[in-house]
């Protein structure tokens, strides 16, 4: 499915997103076996109380990122499409769609020690601990989804400066905690 055809919709937080994450996490543990160190729920569906696109973002921390290339067959059997690095060096990115062709999951695999793991977890944890910023983010996403209902790239671009600001705050906050 092409990003350009993707309808931009955000929904109020759904408590079932946590269950969907746990179901997929169990599948990842089996598929990636000893290469898998940890599975994390990231992205907006991991932050209670905010609007999100109903796509579960999963971060996989692995021992050997190159081994993921060999293990991609197991992920493809679970319905994931291998997208390679997809714009972020040393990442392996996969996406999954349901039977109707609607995207449901993103997998982001990084090797242990990657700064990307720390960045994603700091963002999530900061937003959970700072509901005022989380609600600002939620409001921004709702406004952008209304403004760009059929333009995922403009929606993403509209979030970029806010995300960068939160990344900086989260990095500083993480130093304090």
Question: How confident is the model over 65-103, as pLDDT tens digits?
Answer: 999 999 999 999 999 999 999 999 999 999 999 999 999
- Average pLDDT of span 37-42: 98
DSSP 91-133: EEEEEEE-TTS-EEEEEEEEETT-HHHHHHHHHHHHHHH-HHH
96: CATH: 3.30.460.10
Is the pLDDT assigned to residue 5 strictly greater than 60?
Answer: no
User: From CA 14, how far away is CA 46, in angstroms rounded?
Assistant: 10
Please answer whether residues 109 and 74 qualify as being in contact, where contact means their C-beta atoms are separated by less than 8 angstroms. Answer: no
148: tokens are: 């760009």
CB count in 10 Å sphere of residue 127: 24
CB count in 10 Å sphere of residue 36: 20
Is the pLDDT assigned to residue 4 strictly greater than 60?
Answer: no
pTM reported for the whole predicted model: 0.94
| Structural domain count, the chain | 1
Which domain range does residue 153 map to? 3-176
Dihedral of alpha carbons 127, 129, 133, 134, sign: positive
Q: State in Å, rounded, how far the first CA of the chain is from the last one.
A: 41
Question: What's the pLDDT tens digit per position in 44-56?
Answer: 999 999 999 999 9
CB count in 10 Å sphere of residue 52: 22
């Amino acid at each position: 499915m092409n990003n350009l055809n993707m309808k931009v919709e955000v929904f109020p937080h759904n408590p079932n997103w946590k269950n969907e994450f746990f179901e997929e996490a169990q599948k990842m543990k089996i598929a990636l076996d000893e290469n898998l160190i940890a599975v994390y729920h990231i992205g907006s569906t991991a932050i209670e109380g905010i609007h999100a696109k109903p796509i579960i973002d999963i971060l996989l921390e692995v021992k050997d990122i190159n081994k993921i290339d060999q293990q991609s067959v197991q992920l493809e059997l679970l319905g994931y499409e291998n997208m390679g690095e997809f714009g972020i060096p040393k990442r392996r990115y996969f996406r999954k769609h349901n039977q109707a062709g609607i995207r449901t999951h993103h997998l982001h695999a990084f090797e242990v020690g990657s700064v990307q793991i720390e960045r994603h977890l700091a963002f999530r944890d900061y937003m959970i601990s700072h509901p005022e910023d989380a609600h600002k983010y939620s409001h921004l996403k709702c406004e952008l989804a209304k403004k760009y209902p059929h333009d995922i790239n403009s929606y993403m671009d509209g979030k970029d400066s806010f995300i960068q600001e939160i990344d900086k705050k989260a990095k500083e906050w993480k130093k304090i905690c």
